[in-house]
Structure 1
């Protein structure tokens, strides 16, 4: 007989979900509307996550972290996103920024930089995209030139999540222009390094409580021991990182969609029209059924991808792309339907679903647009 327990989350993962939800309902959700309205980083939410060890759960225990596996980390991000999408970028981007170190960094780099992230003393961001190099990351122009015992960085990175708040940055730069993707290397840059500066916060549609800025490097001198991995391996590290962290974006999308569905269900059960609850109309029930079906399909695909991330399966590239693409498309549909279910009220800031709809949109764009995800999936499918 098959082991049907494989289709059920382990008890400890359900315990993690319950713990995160409790923290988020009490100390994160109350800050979500204000963070969206003000565009300010939700420090109170960060403090709540940090005090509960949910700010960077993926950091291994040997560096002072909680040592959460990829599935547990996805559940944490999902539950935070259910309450506040901006706040979910705290654990998500901490994973994105540190994953290159975990995959390719020296032991000394890991000890030096993962430990303060685990303790909550610092956050970590990821600098890959540039003004003229988004999906085509190989076209980056940020340069790193060797000068004795240092690398000297010059250039600009764009769309950097939590820029200015994070203390540390994984930065990808060209060290050998003739070698194309094999001429890109990765470095740890500190916010305090001379020559590092930040642009004004972007004025965005959603995730307004998570600052997005350009990061400028003006003759930034980086010691040799801050290179992540060997010279020329940066692009490969960047792509391996995204294989893992696209799962976290899928989890974020699932959480946003769950928050919108939860609120819409409560609303239609209370709202009365034509003498009965809106939820009693079959047309509304069909909408709810479709929303729930798409959400659960997205969640299951995300959890499968998380398992593959934890094991390092050979088909992670496909499943990471598929989970991110499907979950973010589903989140956009579900949040849009949630606004529709609330009618005119859904279109106002008095209710959270319009914020959730705006927040959901970015999940279809960052860490690779969904058009790029479909290219990635097709290429994986067509391999021998």
Structure 2
């Protein structure tokens, strides 16, 4: 029979206590105000719940997705927004970067996530959603750089996320090479523009926005 380890039980207990004693009373106001819960982010960061899966050599705890799920499950009982922040602060973009990114790429974004950044994944476009192969955003190679142009839509965390994992159609010497992933940091990489925010029925405390790339150089 499967049993949680003592460490996992401690993680679960901490998450449950924070959910009941801190996040529960804030949840309704987050939904009403539609404001990103920076106070909750601070509490999550202090508790070590951001960047849990980042390898120890990059400053993280090197924990598993199962450990993260224990936290998410407890937080989601009282506040979906806070739970979603933990999901994206440990899985999603940061998970992909840690699994497939270079050492330099990981070293660039790991400190941001460990400090509370919820990375954004930029796949969906106005004309393509789950059919990612239909995306029209391009990354054209020029010298040793890629120039990204296009529009993404319904990007969770637009305007609050610093780290962006952008997927685009790669072109080299006029030839399509398939879809590639690129990392950009808001306010550091020129050409990443936050567009309009869309209204949402749920998870209203996390903005869903357009993101526009105008000659974003990576």
* TM-score bracket relative to the smaller structure: over 0.9
Residue 164 in structure 1 maps to residue 151 in structure 2: no
Q: Which residue of 1 aligns with 2:25?
A: 30
Residue 88 in structure 1 maps to residue 83 in structure 2: yes
1:140 is matched with which residue: 135, 138, 142? 135
Q: Which residue of 2 aligns with 1:104?
A: 100
Structure 1 unaligned segments of length 5 or more: list them: 223-384
1:93, 1:201 → 2: CA distance?
19
Residue 196 in structure 1 maps to residue 197 in structure 2: no
1:53, 1:108 → 2: CA distance?
23
CA root-mean-square deviation: 1.6
Displacement of 1:195: 1.6
Determine which structure has greater relative contact order: mean sequence separation of CA pairs < 8 Å that are 6+ residues apart, divided by chain length.
Answer: 2
- Distance 1:80-1:56 versus aligned 2 partners, 3 A rule: farther
Structure 2 unaligned segments of length 5 or more: list them: none
Give the secondary-structure state (helix, strand or coil) at the position aligned to 1:200.
strand
Q: Which residue of 2 aligns with 1:288?
A: none
Please, what TM-score do these two structures have when normalized by structure 2?
0.92
> Which digits, 9 at most, give the CA deviation of each residue in 1:98-156, with x for residues without a partner?
12211211111111211331233x33111111111111110000001112232110001
2:146, 2:76 → 1: CA distance?
38
The structure with the largest helix share of the pair is: 1
1:113 is matched with which residue: 109, 132, 135? 109
Matched residue count: 214
> Which digits, 9 at most, give the CA deviation of each residue in 1:55-92, with x for residues without a partner?
23222221111222111011111112112001111121
Aligned partners of 1:27 and 1:44 also within 8 Å: no
Counting only pairs closer than 5 Å after superposition, residues 291-302 of structure 1 correspond to structure 2 as none
1:47, 1:144 → 2: CA distance?
35
2:175, 2:96 → 1: CA distance?
24
Structure with bigger gyration radius:
1
> Which digits, 9 at most, give the CA deviation of each residue in 1:250-309, with x for residues without a partner?
xxxxxxxxxxxxxxxxxxxxxxxxxxxxxxxxxxxxxxxxxxxxxxxxxxxxxxxxxxxx
1:103, 1:166 → 2: CA distance?
20
- Distance 1:164-1:215 versus aligned 2 partners, 3 A rule: same
Displacement of 1:178: 6.0
Aligned partners of 1:172 and 1:186 also within 8 Å: yes
